[in-house]
Amino acid sequence: GEAIIAELKEQKEVQHFCKMWILGDKRKVNSKHGMILFEDIIGKNPGDTYITSTGTEMIIRRPSLEEFTLQMKKIAAIPHPKNNNTALCLLDVSPGDWVLECGTGSGAMTLFLSRAVGVTGRVISFDSKEDHLNRAKRNYRLWMDSWKLSHETDWPDNVTFHQADVINATDKVKHLLDGAFLDMLTPNIGLRAVLPIIKPGKVIACHIVNMTQVVDLVASILKHQLPVVVEQVLEVEHRNWLVTPA
């Protein structure tokens, strides 16, 4: 049940080979760089070198949460971790906070929020689609189980999943919120649904994939005279470098 990452030891490209597996019933995995036998991994330390059946040197280690979310199975597109982590900063999520998220999707941001609010906080996650919620719950469970095996402590069980349209948020959420993260096609609908239950002065961060939707959202805020300030419209850059000294 533990998630592991295998990556090429010698990195020749910016996007080098790096793949995640869940150790379990399968006894081996194949890749274009050869076969890895699970029984040979037992007893190694994270970061140790593993030689595949074709003689390729791999590093075997545990994935970070960022890597897990990038490599886990998805049913809906996830924001890149650079965006999720920027949203966490903008929201200023802290241990003990209650935050709402819509939609749950594949559950990537759910995991980041779960870590940020900790054992004393709560993530309330809405998605109208059952299959999306099921995928997110499976990903959450996989990460929790893997965490427990590698850390011998429990990951916080702090997420409430609601299969519902976020317009019903006020019916379902009876606790004032410290923040909300909206990653949905119609954030203007989510924004209006969340406003009555958000604490004064708190932040609603929206992940929006194109400028047309940003303009629509800002226009909707003006049209409905919503009591919010558009503080920042931000594009997050992230560039990998491959450094190969002579």
Ligand X SMILES: C[S@@+](CC[C@H](N)C(=O)[O-])C[C@H]1O[C@@H](n2cnc3c(N)ncnc32)[C@H](O)[C@@H]1O
- Residues within the interface to ligand X (CB under 6 A): 76-79, 102-103, 105-109, 126-129, 132, 165-166, 183-185, 189
Which is closer to ligand X, CB of 156 or CB of 187? 187
Q: Are 14 and 242 a contacting pair, CB within 8 Å?
A: yes
Question: How many residues are present in the chain?
Answer: 246
For the CB of residue 39, give the shortest distance to ligand X in the complex, in Å.
Answer: 34
Name every residue whose Cβ is closer than 8 Å to that of residue 215 and which is 6 or more positions away in sequence: none
- For residue 61, the minimal CB distance to ligand X (Å) is 24
Residue 75, classed as helix, strand or coil, is: coil
Q: Of the two residues 6 and 72, which places its CB atom closer to ligand X in the complex?
A: 72
Minimum Å gap between C-beta 210 and ligand X is: 13
Question: Closest by alpha carbon to 135, among 66, 182, 77, 75?
Answer: 75
Nearer to ligand X, 36 or 142 (CB): 142
Question: What's the min distance (Å) between Cβ of 183 and ligand X?
Answer: 4
- Which residue lies nearer to ligand X by CB, 94 or 163? 163
DSSP 197-224: GEEEEEEEEE--SSHHHHHHHHHHHHHT
* Strands 159-163 and 122-127, bridge-based pairing: parallel
CB of 136 to ligand X, least distance (A): 7
CB-wise, 107 or 121, nearer to ligand X? 107
> Could you tell me the two tokens for 236?
């997050």
